[in-house]
Amino acid sequence: MNDCIFCKIIKGEIPGHKIYEDDKTYAFLDISCDSYGHTLVVPKKHCTNILDCDEADFKAVMAAVQKISRHYVDDCGFDGVNIINASGQAAQQSVFHLHMHIIPRKNDDGLNTWGLNDKFDLNLAEICSKLKI
């Protein structure tokens, strides 16, 4: 895709801080600088999100996410990682090229990645019956 910022980073048309690359995936630091080591893992083949990504490319992205996450914990001194994805505008996706966020974490780092709403009064059995495959 010609106007996709992530495709341009993959092609080297605009600068990026590459962390990892293989034949199907590319990983680079997020320019938001909102946390140390915040990394994006993308397929090299353009797709919008997990809903239109083919299975082989999605599996490659997830394998790269796992490899990088293990490296961060085993070799870089982190205690864990958050893996985050937004697929679709309603989910607050801002760049429409599939990307998985890896947020490396240290114990007591002060980050709150679970800033979800207060609990709702939900009937889980009813919801399950509507959503079950």
Cite the active site residues. Answer: 99
Rounded Cα distance between 64 and 22, Å, is: 8
Percentages (nearest 5) of helix, strand, coil residues in the chain: 30, 20, 50
Residues in a beta bridge with 20: 27
Whether 42 and 60 have beta carbons less than 8 Å apart is answered as: no
SS3 assignment, position 104: strand
Rounded Cα distance between 44 and 32, Å, is: 21
